[in-house]
Structure 1
Amino acid sequence: MELGNKERSLVSKVMDGLISGIVEERYGAILPPQDVLSKEFDVSRTVMREALSMLLARHMLDVRPKIGTRIRPMRDWRMIDEDVVSWRFRAKPDKNFLRDVIEFRALIEPAACALAAERASTADLTGIREAYETLRQTSPGEAGCESADTLLHTRILAASGNQFYQQMAAIIRGALTLVGPILSQREDGWINVVNAHGSVVDAIERRAPEDARAAAMAMIELTADELHSALSPEVVEPR
């Protein structure tokens, strides 16, 4: 059932009210049942159900059988809409977009790698190494290559322990999906990128934050250079 303008406005107001209640900790860990919330906000069950679904989509809530609607920890809330990110990366890349992708990675990944070198648990390090070894043993176009690449970066961001960096994983994954096929067209381009990843992983395992930062920056600069060569000097502006 499609909501009209009035109902959509009510949904927005209910969402705002629910979020206020959540951040002010008025509800505790579990939200009241939908019927109770509908009466509290004086709206129909349809409006309340839509408002709750919007919060569910943003990873703010979690519905569990026999428990109810649980409020998730704030660190889990989706601050970056992964669907929108994915849709944007489907479009043919242009000069400015490729430049922006490189600049974004240069801003986020070196800092995240440095933090991962400081904060990664033993399990984090094992996961990072496993993802890298899978990446090293595959080639572009082979099953699992792209997923290993994105998994490696995602695990490093997770190991940083910073919830904002962790949620940047959606953009980083989109960037890797974009540049991977381009780099694979270059002779030795992919192996150079894999070796650069290895330097990052080694530094993280050695618990060397500044080495990890430098290795990550070198990895991103290599990617930029490869894009320059693979496409044309006009596609990606100098760093």
Structure 2
Amino acid sequence: MRKEAIAGWLLASKPRTNHARVVEQLGLAIVAGEFAVGDVLPGDPELQQRFEVSRSVLREAMKTLAAKGLVVAKSRIGTRVTDQCYWNLLDEDVLRWHFSSGVSAVFIDQLYDIRLLLEPAAAAYAAQRATAEDCAELRSLAAKLGSPEFDWQSQVEADLCFHLLLLLVGGNPFMESMVGFIRAALEGAFTLALKPPVPNRDAEMRDTHMAIVEAVERGDVDAARAAMENVVQLGRRSAIYAVERVHTS
């Protein structure tokens, strides 16, 4: 993926086609428990009427959900919701549907374990390979975080862009294939942590992200890795705090 394409990977937009709309609504309904594990989905005629789509659009949507691990088609039985162990949590849609339907502190903790595996390594790669132009862009994005000059959505987009750019500048194609997952994880978790804002986070967000930039600029692999670990751990605490605050309010 070209680094210039990051702008098109920011906050998810509403589905624009009938196929995408059916996938979105059925996928969210499954993850939210409207259709429980083991349930057989309504037949084609009922779903066609519910979504006002053709049979071919519905069938393609079912194939998409099956590819994400949410459903399986059985002859003479119908399309059944699979056990959650088969759901592809690395799929950005599936992860986003979890955030939309509500997540627990345990879910957040496990998600951040995966971020802790991926993102410090990405920062280390960036310290080895980032160009002066990359560093300037990272510094510009980090400066927006916590700034009163930018509204909440602009800061979330800057944060997303910062982490996605850092993932790409390392030039590792395997890391690049995780962009969709990281985007969904960041969007969901940062939304939890920033809306409403967690107290005293503004300066901390800017300073901790600047520490990553400075390490990348110096080409200091160990410092870049450690600075990103710090950001991920701070994000973990903020996201868990936000989830627990919602559950106790």
Correspondence for 1:20: none
Question: Does structure 1 residue 210 correspond to structure 2 residue 222?
Answer: yes
Structure 2 residues not aligned, in runs of 5+: 1-59, 65-89
Say if 1:228 and 1:110 are closer, same or farther in 2 by CA, change over 3 A.
Answer: same
Q: Which one is further off, 133-142 or 163-172?
A: 133-142
Whether the 8 Å contact between 1:193 and 1:223 is mirrored in structure 2 is no
Question: Does structure 1 residue 112 correspond to structure 2 residue 126?
Answer: no
Question: Does structure 1 residue 223 correspond to structure 2 residue 225?
Answer: no
Correspondence for 2:100: 90
Deviation, structure 1 residue 85: 4.1
Q: Give SS of 2:152's match.
A: coil
Aligned positions, number:
158
1:27-42 counterparts in 2 under 5 A? Answer: none
Deviation, structure 1 residue 157: 0.3
Deviation, structure 1 residue 225: 2.5
Whether the 8 Å contact between 1:101 and 1:175 is mirrored in structure 2 is yes
Whether the 8 Å contact between 1:138 and 1:144 is mirrored in structure 2 is no
Per-residue deviation, residues 91-150 of structure 1 (Å, max 9, x unmatched): 311233212211011000001101100011222222222222233535785342111111
Whether the 8 Å contact between 2:105 and 2:243 is mirrored in structure 1 is no
**Percent identity for Structure 1 against Structure 2:** 29
Counterpart Cα distance in 1 of 2:157 and 2:151: 11
Structure exhibiting the larger radius of gyration computed from Cα positions: 1
Q: Give SS of 2:103's match.
A: coil
Counterpart Cα distance in 1 of 2:159 and 2:183: 9
The code of the aligned residue for 2:164 comes to T
Whether the 8 Å contact between 1:138 and 1:145 is mirrored in structure 2 is no
1:1-239 counterparts in 2 under 5 A? Answer: 81-137=91-147, 141-184=151-194, 185-232=197-244
The code of the aligned residue for 1:187 comes to P
Per-residue deviation, residues 7-44 of structure 1 (Å, max 9, x unmatched): xxxxxxxxxxxxxxxxxxxxxxxxxxxxxxxxxxxxxx
Deviation, structure 1 residue 173: 1.8
Higher relative contact order (CA 8 A, sep 6+): 2
Counterpart Cα distance in 2 of 1:97 and 1:91: 12
Deviation, structure 1 residue 231: 4.1
Counterpart Cα distance in 1 of 2:203 and 2:181: 23
Counterpart Cα distance in 2 of 1:228 and 1:143: 20
Correspondence for 1:77: none
Counterpart Cα distance in 2 of 1:227 and 1:139: 24
Say if 1:176 and 1:140 are closer, same or farther in 2 by CA, change over 3 A.
Answer: farther
Say if 1:145 and 1:138 are closer, same or farther in 2 by CA, change over 3 A.
Answer: farther
Say if 1:81 and 1:220 are closer, same or farther in 2 by CA, change over 3 A.
Answer: closer
Counterpart Cα distance in 1 of 2:99 and 2:244: 20
Deviation, structure 1 residue 159: 0.8
Q: Give SS of 2:97's match.
A: helix
Counterpart Cα distance in 2 of 1:81 and 1:228: 22
